[in-house]
Amino acid sequence: MRALAPNLPPCPSALAPMQDVTDHAFMRLISQKGAPDFFMTEYFRVYAGSRPEAHILECIERNETGRPIIAQLLGHDIENLVATIRALETRPIAGIDLNLGCPAPKVYRKNVGGGLLSDLGRIKEILTALRENYTGHLSIKTRVGFENADDFERLLDIVEASGIDMFTLHARSVRALYRGAVDYEKIARAATRLTNIRVVANGDITSAAKAAWVRAHTNCTGVMIGRSALRNPWIFRQIRELSEGSRVFEPTLADVHAYVHEIWEQLSNARHPESVRLGRVKKFLNFVGQSIDAHGNFLKAMRTTKNARELFDVCEAHLGGANAPLPFATEPFAGVIARPNCE
């Protein structure tokens, strides 16, 4: 089994790729709070005549995180996938990942992402070709199936024979989107079957304690976290501290207050109109608000704001200012729902 990076710990954590979210600025901000062990880019769209998108390449070329970055691809045409790998392997990447799990209908209807799980024979052909044409670290991020998990064992057969190095599993079907319970037993099954492949668990890993439980329960070799890292950017630091037996950092609402300002300053483009910046920030705050109050009052007030002044007035009222000592909840409050689905 190839090493992902020379000094990667035996049970790594990773930031999940989230389209239009995990860009260069967000990777930089997360690394300031306690970086994961590796990052994965948003997917490069691969089709006839496509070229790697410049804004995603920026993550790779201007990597300031001190952590390796894997380039993720979305496509189904082998010739074009190989051509894209050739264009990327000259860049400072830690490996290539193939997206086989994106549940967005506009994606899977094109027979890419999660759509490929309806054609396991095609997945086998693609993985065989990619392994033959790329000697570096090769992985896939997928789900248990398209409609359901009926063909999961067959998927594992294909993965086991493919020669890939890492298998990240979001243990829901594509059709399930982000609804219902994650089937961690499927991750445990993958870890049992794929003894020569890193198995990384993904889906509803909401805290350092949950990550520890998932690792112990499934025997996976790592965890990948998406939406919960938007809500709690300290989660990778907390995972590391818990695994080392160190004191685990407990953010307060004052820390969240500072994080909101960082989102505004670092993650929204100052050249864009205020309304565009406001929409960008609200995308993040939809998740942050899940741990601010049990009744969702912050979320309700935040969602109705029409400009930056109103938004920051809401933050002052609910977060208590820069010196607020109140704790930020470790887990999302039950029933406080974030609207966007982006992992």
- pLDDT (tens digit per residue) in 3-21: 554 445 556 999 999 999 9
Neighbours of 114 (CB within 10 A): 25
Q: Where are the alpha helices (DSSP H) in the chain?
A: 24-34, 54-61, 78-88, 105-108, 120-133, 152-162, 184-193, 208-218, 227-231, 235-244, 253-262, 274-288, 297-303, 308-319
Distance CA 269, CA 98 (A): 29
Distance CA 264, CA 326 (A): 22
CA angle centred on 252, ends 248 and 254, rounded to 5°: 140
* Residue (of 30, 85, 101, 98) closest to 59 by Cα position: 30
Confidence of residue 85 (pLDDT cuts 50, 70, 90): very high
Q: How far apart are the first and last CA of the chain?
A: 27
Residue 260: per-residue pLDDT:
97
What are the domain boundaries of the chain? Answer: 13-244, 253-319
Q: For strand 13-15 and strand 38-45, is the pairing parallel, antiparallel, or unpaired?
A: parallel
Query: Across all residues in the chain, what is the average pLDDT?
Result: 94
Residue 6: per-residue pLDDT:
44
pLDDT cut 90: percent of the chain above it: 91
Which residue, chain included where needed, has tokens 């570096």?
136
CB 25 within 8 A of CB 55: no
Backbone angles phi, psi at 248, to 5 degrees: -90, 130
Residue 1: per-residue pLDDT:
47
Backbone angles phi, psi at 196, to 5 degrees: -105, 15
The residue that leads in pLDDT, 307 or 338, is 307
Instruction: Read off the pLDDT of residues 266-302 as tens digits, 9 standing for 90 and up.
Output: 999 999 999 999 999 999 999 999 999 999 999 999 9
Q: Which two tokens stand for residue 25?
A: 């600025």
Confidence of residue 337 (pLDDT cuts 50, 70, 90): confident
Backbone angles phi, psi at 71, to 5 degrees: -90, 125
Distance CA 287, CA 329 (A): 12
CB 249 within 8 A of CB 17: no
Instruction: Read off the pLDDT of residues 203-231 as tens digits, 9 standing for 90 and up.
Output: 999 999 999 999 999 999 999 999 999 99
Confidence of residue 320 (pLDDT cuts 50, 70, 90): confident
Q: Evaluate if residue 165 carries a pLDDT over 90.
A: yes
pTM of the model: 0.94
How many angstroms separate the Cα of 79 from the Cα of each of 57, 84, 309? 21, 9, 51
Specify the 3-state DSSP secondary structure of 149.
Answer: coil
CB under 8 Å to 297, separation ≥6 — which residues? 318
Q: Which two tokens stand for residue 262?
A: 């960082």
| Domain spanning 13-244: CATH superfamily | Aldolase class I (3.20.20.70)
